[in-house]
Amino acid sequence: MQHPTLALIGFGAFGRLTADLLKAHCRILICDPSEPARTAARHAGLRVISLPEVAEADIVLLCLPLPQFGQTLSALAPHLRPGQLVADVASVKSAPAALMQNLLPDHVELLATHPMFGPQSAAAGTRGLQLVLCPLRGGSWRRRAAFLRKTLGLRLLITTPDQHDRDAARTQGLTHLLARALRDLGPAPKLRTRSFELLDQAFAMVRDDAPEVFEAVTRDNPHVAPLQARLADLLAAASG
């Protein structure tokens, strides 16, 4: 299927990035109850649809904050047809994966994903950026993955939702916590080493993320809190 139809449920920052990346390769539909989002979609030349019209899509991609998943999936379920692939881009994977498996009909395929990038880190292109895939049901994800690897140059990592959350607690959760903590310390001094500048550049990529992103990667991931406590103990021990 050369040009599948992709329905984006949610047209926030990541939904807009997805549309920009895939509009040359997919027929894109936008489903979002927010009037500003709908207006933005129309200005981008994209078709805005209602929830029942999601049945037209080959792929349904949930670009929503985790608190909206349950209600959205329950409303979406009656309109899904056999053979559709439903995926998400949430920053945690165990909770949304369970919701999709529990609330969506058995006749649709399911794939939990986490793009390890956002609009800022993808500004220079997607080649070499990482996309995590957690297959849940069905096999059509393989050809979609091959397309993403070949066309967008993404590095694909196949894992389970639980292993994703364990790994992301360290590589993403702690990064966001440290970035927020250093920001709250106040402006960085002019006296700085090259190592500090590199750390500051890295933290700048995430410290001003939307509140729902920060909540997802630090609070919704159950593996972050014990890792945070261990880090605090290690810092105390390192200081003597």
Tell me how far apart the 2 most distant CA atoms of the chain are, in Å: 62
Listed by start position, the domains of the chain span: 5-159, 163-234
Instruction: Note the pLDDT tens digit of each residue in 40-67.
Output: 999 999 999 999 999 999 999 999 999 9
Question: In this predicted structure, what is the pLDDT of residue 1?
Answer: 47
Tell me which fold the domain 5-159 belongs to: Rossmann fold (3.40.50)
At 101-116, the pLDDT tens digits run 999 999 999 999 999 9
Question: What stretch of H or E contains 28?
Answer: strand 27-31
Asked whether the predicted pLDDT for residue 121 surpasses 90, the reply is no
Q: What is the pLDDT of residue 2?
A: 66
Residue 201, both tokens: 């550049």
For residue 136, what are the CA distances in angstroms to 28, 76, 95, 165, 199? 24, 18, 13, 15, 36
For residue 148, count other CB atoms closer than 10 A to its CB: 22
Instruction: Give per-residue pLDDT as tens, 62-88.
Output: 999 999 999 999 999 999 999 999 999
Indicate if the pLDDT at residue 154 is higher than 90. Answer: yes
pTM of the model: 0.90
